[in-house]
Amino acid sequence: MSRASTPVIDPVELTRDLIRIPSVTPADEGAMDVLERHLTALGFTCRRLAFEGPGGEGVHARIENLYARRGTASPNLCFAGHTDVVPTGPSDQWSSRPFNAEVKDGVLYGRGAVDMKGGIAAWVAAVSQVIADGEPAGSLSFLITGDEEGPALHGTKRVVEALAAEGEVIDACVVGEPSSSQQLGDMIKVGRRGSLNTWITVHGKQGHVAYPERAANPAPVIAKLMARLNDHVLDEGYENFPPSNLEITTIDIGNPATNIIPAQATARLNIRFNPSHTGDALIDWLNREAGAMQAKTGFQITLEHLCSGEAFLTEPGAFVEAVQDAVEAVAGRRPEASTTGGTSDARFIRALCPVLELGLVGQTMHQIDERVPTAELETLTAVYRRVIETVFERMQKA
């Protein structure tokens, strides 16, 4: 592809085009088509990977994913992101309709502006600039999913599994999540805590409160068990990570009557854990605690677990330093390497290569009036371009 024929992408206009597509998880509504059209014009070979199966709340879902690559040389620098967005909430509370992509006083409003259609558009624009100036010193690739905001069962997780099975080599990956805290480029995410959800049920026997000897009340049992779990100190922290925390998110009896001993009691908890633990080890601990309480009280206690991601850390090194140097050169600040926040698809990509997150300021993501200054999209594009150039330069020397 000649330089003259290389289209240079406007990050603001591409962000607006993507925002106008109401791609609320798991719907795609043509978002992948827009990206594939632009990437094909830039010389990328695009592959659509669609997976389907049970989604959230038992709904059957078909998820569109895209893997695109330009070049065959090493290293292969990948950008990962998602085109799906969370629901808008009451649209009449927005300053402008959430999918209209209006710009007011230099600020772009719309669902996905920050999380993370703006980040995707900025990287596409940066890539178009790099290609227009000459052939990159390696391969560039995109891993884009439509299943990040939902259960994340048929998106990046399955694409990573498919690429690994094919022997596809990705040397490093930048995830375009809105990692910045207060100012663009003040923070990158180099790791994430793991997340484990557990549902606990204590089975009793319903009866009249006046005749407790004829019933078996599960409420005191679940109260004791949850208090024991809540009081347990999981750890004192891990390098670059805060202490792991267990949070009880609900305790339910489901008994509106005042004269009935309930038949069962349920609870749900979440553990955000650092690399001191694995999901399996925490599951074993919870099962042992429940088993001990069952043996002590005689009540049957059942548990269900879902570990949505393990803790991980991309260690300091050439990749992280190259990204920090690039950000500092453009934005004028050196980003803090952080592990704070919730989970992201980086937890799946870590199985392939070193990965970190770098993107817009995340203060309005998922909110009414999600928005981003258009100037920030332009700056992020410049940051991403410098990241591409710096990472390739450092990797070629390694």
CB 326 within 8 A of CB 393: no
- Residues recognised as catalytic: 84, 148
Predicted confidence (pLDDT) at residue 97 exceeds the cutoff of 60: yes
Instruction: Show Cβ contacts of residue 154 under 8 Å, excluding neighbours closer than 6 positions.
Output: 51, 52, 53, 55, 61, 62, 63, 65, 147
Residue 53 pLDDT greater than 90, yes or no:
no
Biggest CA-to-CA distance, the chain = 87
In the predicted structure, residue 60 carries a pLDDT above the cut 90? no
pLDDT digits (tens, 9 = 90+) for 365-387: 999 999 999 999 999 999 999 99
Cβ neighbours around 90 below 10 Å, total = 8
Give start and end residues of each alpha helix (H) in the chain.
11-19, 31-41, 117-132, 156-166, 219-231, 279-297, 318-331, 346-349, 374-397
159-177: pLDDT as tens digits: 999 999 999 999 999 999 9
Distance, CA of 392 to CA of 374 (rounded, Å): 28
pLDDT digits (tens, 9 = 90+) for 242-282: 999 999 999 999 999 999 999 999 999 999 999 999 999 99
For the chain, the structural domain boundaries read 11-192+312-397, 194-309
Residue written as tokens 């509370």? 93
Is the pTM higher than 0.85? The answer reads: yes
Task: Look at residue 152 in the predicted model and tell me its pLDDT.
Answer: 87
CATH fold of 11-192+312-397:
Aminopeptidase (3.40.630)
- The fold adopted by the segment(s) 194-309 is Alpha-Beta Plaits (3.30.70)
398 pLDDT above the threshold of 70: no
pLDDT at 153: 86
Q: Quick one: DSSP state of residue 104?
A: E
Q: CA quadruple 145, 313, 381, 341: dihedral positive or negative? A: positive
